[in-house]
């Protein structure tokens, strides 16, 4: 038996990277996911955010009331009218890591940029990067390529007001494909405007491949200009969220704003769960943190103290839409992308501030306070009624069988808290024939199967109690063990394995709706997937090729020649267990269901899964394309 080659581990294997090399090699540490621009948190938007944050910091300190943003394809430019970077430090501020004025409280008191990394990362990850600072009629400009200085020049320009101009284009060797989506750009700029009342943000957008468009309708869309400016701060954000699915507040949003703290909230009768936005120094903290949990605690204490009750936090916040923003001198975030605040020392003070302000408001606005209490009492009563429904559902399930009849379980289960069971998965499949193929070839250690009895219920317009009244919905919830939270989730991956036909796609959408509606954290934490199975098998006597699209089928048929036999798989049950084994093995193709905030998801799911059949029919008739066969 041949000996394995020995790897030498000595001084020559130790590397010391420059800051530029480290940023380019370990991109995820600085900007999170790369992506392609289709998701709000993709890397290209993080690059943009790092540049705009500097302009926002200037506004917070009282300099510059306008920021101009221009997008031409993948080229981005940002112009602010703040103080401008000190002319002698322009190159250092955008290329030398841990360099900046954010360490000086006299210059920036409530800055988002903390570590002197932001624009350096943008510079290092850009194919081209240009910075120009104007101060007192003079300017300094520096040009970089992938983080390395190429040119620097100085001059005078008395016509240009003070401020900073930054232009960059993401490096195509790192960002393989990038497309700035106007909806993500606009959402980010709206957030900036809500958090900085009075700030004017101007977006000039020309999408990829559109800037060369000529006259006419498309040309106008290609070079659109939009202005974002808010007069009412977080109240505008809350009202926009409500307008997303035509929800009506049951009382005027309660809005409080001071130099260090701002919050706004209201209740609605047309929502399930709670929707909260949280911000620190203008930074959207998608995963919340100390400030959001402190706000929730202060809100609960105020309500209970006002009425002398002992309501649960979930009852108080049910159907609530709100936002909270704080300004903090030394915020501690959990990563460079700043998605969660970790300053535990601010909790007590923030809880007391929220509690005191709300008690003052309740005393001054007794009618609104009584409306809130009535809503909370209704929610509490509904929860108690739901508990009775839960009890009946459990008793009914026990009467039938101790085990879940539709579940074929595996041996290893996921335990997030202990870090065990990674790689475990459950396939949600339709009918016994499809399940039979998977059962015969699955790995019984890590692969479980839940068999659906036809099409599941469309739950988009239904309330939570339907989960307990419908046997299939209830059994699925029990199988996953996600009744109270996803902390008990038994499988790392929940995989939708449906046929690649119209009915299969419909079942897939019904299941996605079920999870988004009642178990949103499961989607948010990235546990929901779709199994990609081949549509075609192309083979001859020597070779078999499985194809996932018509283009792959045509290429395989051409490669294998005229004698190739082409089979179209209409359902999973048509694939033999021997063949299916490779499709759920190590080379399994999975597509992750990407999470979208309720505002975005509600628009899509409400249109396709709501009670608006005539509207959907009109949409189909207007957009249906039938290919002409030659």
CATH code of the domain in which 28 resides: 3.30.565.10
Q: Stretch 278-300: mean pLDDT, rounded? A: 89
Task: Indicate whether 210 and 192 sit together in one domain.
Answer: yes
Q: Does residue 585 share a domain with residue 559?
A: no
Per DSSP bridges, beta strands 126-135 and 163-170 are antiparallel
Task: Specify which of 118-127, 203-212, 357-366, 401-410 reaches the highest per-range mean pLDDT.
Answer: 357-366
End-to-end CA distance of the chain: 61
- pLDDT on residue 209: 47
DSSP codes of every residue in 258-323: -SSEEEEEEEBSS-SS-EEEEEETTEE-TT-BHHHHHHHHHHHHHHHHHHT----HHHHHTTEEEE
Sheet of 254-257: strand order equals 254-257, 261-267, 320-326, 275-280, 283-284
Inside any domain, residue 389? no
The model's confidence at residue 574, banded by pLDDT at 50, 70 and 90, is confident
Asked whether residue 141 is domain-assigned, the answer is: yes
Q: Are residues 459 and 589 in the same domain?
A: yes
Does 390 reside within a domain?
no
Rounded average pLDDT over 280-303 = 89
* CA distance linking residue 559 with residue 552, whole number of Å: 11
Q: Would you place residue 355 in the very low, low, confident or very high pLDDT band (cuts 50, 70, 90)? A: very high
Q: Are residues 475 and 588 in the same domain?
A: yes
Counting runs of H as helices and runs of E as strands, what totals does the chain give? 21, 22
Tell me: do 85 and 205 sit in the same domain: yes
Nearest-angstrom CA–CA distance, 90 and 120: 12
Q: What's the alpha-carbon Rg for the chain, to the nearest Å? A: 28
Would you state the pLDDT for residue 220? 41
User: Is 220 found in the same domain as 278?
Assistant: no
Whether 61 is in a domain gets the answer: yes
Q: Does residue 192 sit within a domain?
A: yes
Residues 449 and 509 reside in one and the same domain: yes
**DSSP assigned state of 334:** S
C-alpha 43, offset from chain centre: 12
Question: Is residue 141 pLDDT above 90, yes or no?
Answer: yes
**9 in any annotated domain:** no
Q: pLDDT for 62-112, tens place per residue?
A: 898 999 999 999 999 999 999 999 999 899 888 887 665 544 444 444 445
Q: What CATH number should be reported for the domain holding residue 430?
A: 3.40.50.670
Asked if 308 and 430 sit in the same domain, the reply is no
What is the pLDDT confidence band of residue 453, given thresholds at 50, 70 and 90?
confident
176, 193, 228: which is the final residue of a domain? Answer: 228
% of the chain at pLDDT higher than 90: 35
pLDDT higher than threshold 70 for residue 388: yes
Q: Which pLDDT tens digit goes with each residue over 297-335? A: 999 999 999 998 899 998 999 999 999 999 888 788 776
42 against 254, higher pLDDT: 254
Q: Please identify, among 321, 356, 377, the residue that sits at the C-terminal boundary of a domain.
A: 377
pLDDT reading at 204 higher than 90: yes
Model pLDDT, residue 230 = 93
Where residue 2 falls among pLDDT bands split at 50, 70, 90? low
Residues 49 and 174 in one domain: yes
What CATH code is carried by the domain that includes residue 329? 3.30.230.10
pLDDT of residue 266: 95
Mean pLDDT of the chain: 84
Kindly state whether residues 61 and 30 are assigned to the same domain: yes
Examine the domain organization and report whether 475 and 548 are in the same domain: no
Local confidence band at 533 (pLDDT 50, 70, 90 cut-offs)? confident
User: Could you tell me the residue range of the domain that residue 472 belongs to?
Assistant: 407-533+578-613
Residue 3 inside a domain? The answer is: no
The tally of domains found in the chain comes to 4
The pTM of this model reads 0.68
Looking at the structure, tell me whether residues 460 and 548 fall in a common domain.
no
């Amino acid at each position: 038996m041949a000996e394995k080659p020995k790897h030498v581990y000595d001084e020559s294997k130790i590397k010391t990277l420059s800051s530029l090399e480290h940023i380019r090699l370990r991109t995820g540490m600085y900007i999170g996911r790369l992506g392609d621009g289709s998701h709000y948190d993709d890397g290209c938007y993080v690059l943009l955010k790092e540049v705009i944050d500097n302009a926002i910091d200037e506004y917070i300190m009282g300099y510059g009331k306008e920021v101009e943003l221009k997008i031409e394809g993948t080229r981005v430019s940002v112009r602010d009218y703040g103080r401008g970077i000190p002319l002698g430090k322009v190159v250092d501020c955008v290329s030398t890591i841990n360099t900046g004025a954010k360490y000086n409280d006299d210059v920036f008191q409530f800055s988002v940029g903390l570590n002197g990394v932001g624009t350096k990362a943008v510079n290092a990850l850009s194919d081209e990067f240009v910075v120009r600072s104007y101060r007192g009629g003079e300017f300094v400009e520096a040009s970089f390529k992938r983080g390395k200085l190429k040119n620097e020049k100085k001059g005078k320009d008395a016509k240009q007001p003070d401020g900073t101009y930054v232009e960059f284009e993401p490096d195509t060797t790192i960002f393989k494909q990038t497309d700035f989506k106007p909806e993500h750009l606009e959402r980010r700029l709206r957030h900036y405007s809500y958090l900085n009342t009075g700030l004017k943000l101007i977006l000039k957008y020309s999408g990829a491949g559109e800037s060369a468009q000529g006259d006419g309708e498309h040309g106008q869309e290609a070079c659109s200009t939009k202005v974002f400016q808010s007069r009412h701060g977080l109240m505008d954000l809350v009202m926009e969220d409500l307008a997303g699915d035509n929800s009506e507040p049951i009382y005027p949003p309660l809005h409080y704003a001071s130099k260090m703290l701002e919050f706004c909230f209201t209740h609605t009768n047309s929502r399930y769960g709670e929707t909260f936005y949280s911000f620190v120094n203008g930074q959207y903290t998608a995963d919340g943190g100390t400030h959001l949990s402190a706000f929730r605690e202060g809100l609960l204490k105020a309500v209970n103290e006002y009425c002398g009750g002992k309501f649960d936090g979930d009852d108080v916040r049910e159907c609530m839409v709100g936002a909270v923003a704080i300004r903090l001198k030394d915020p501690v975030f959990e990563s460079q992308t700043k998605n969660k605040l970790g300053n535990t020392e601010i909790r007590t003070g923030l809880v007391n501030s929220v509690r005191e302000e709300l008690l003052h408001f309740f005393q001054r606005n007794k009618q609104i306070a009584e409306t809130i209490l009535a809503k909370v009492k209704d929610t509490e009563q509904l929860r108690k009624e739901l508990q009775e429904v839960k009890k009946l559902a459990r008793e009914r399930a026990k009467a039938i069988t101790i085990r879940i009849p539709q579940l074929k379980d595996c041996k290893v289960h996921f335990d997030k808290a202990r870090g065990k069971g990674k790689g475990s998965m459950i396939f949600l499949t339709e009918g016994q024939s499809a399940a039979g193929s998977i059962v015969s070839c699955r790995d019984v250690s890590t692969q479980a199967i839940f068999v659906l009895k036809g099409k599941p219920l469309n739950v988009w317009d239904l309330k939570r109690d339907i989960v307990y009244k419908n046997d299939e919905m209830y059994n699925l919830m029990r199988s996953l063990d996600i009744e109270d939270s996803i902390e008990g989730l038994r499988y790392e991956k929940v995989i939708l394995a449906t046929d690649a036909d119209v009915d299969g796609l419909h079942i897939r959408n019904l299941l996605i709706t079920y999870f988004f509606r009642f178990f949103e954290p499961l989607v948010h934490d990235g546990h929901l997937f779709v199994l990609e199975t081949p549509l075609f098998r192309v083979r001859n006597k020597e070779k078999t090729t499985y194809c996932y699209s018509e283009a792959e089928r045509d290429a395989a048929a051409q490669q294998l020649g005229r004698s190739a036999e082409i089979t179209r798989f209409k359902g999973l049950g048509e694939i033999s267990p021997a063949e299916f084994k490779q499709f759920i093995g190590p080379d399994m193709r999975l597509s992750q269901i990407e999470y979208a905030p309720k505002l975005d998801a509600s628009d899509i799911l409400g249109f396709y899964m709501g009670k608006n059949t005539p509207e959907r029919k009109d949409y189909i008739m207007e957009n249906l394309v039938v290919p002409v066969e030659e």
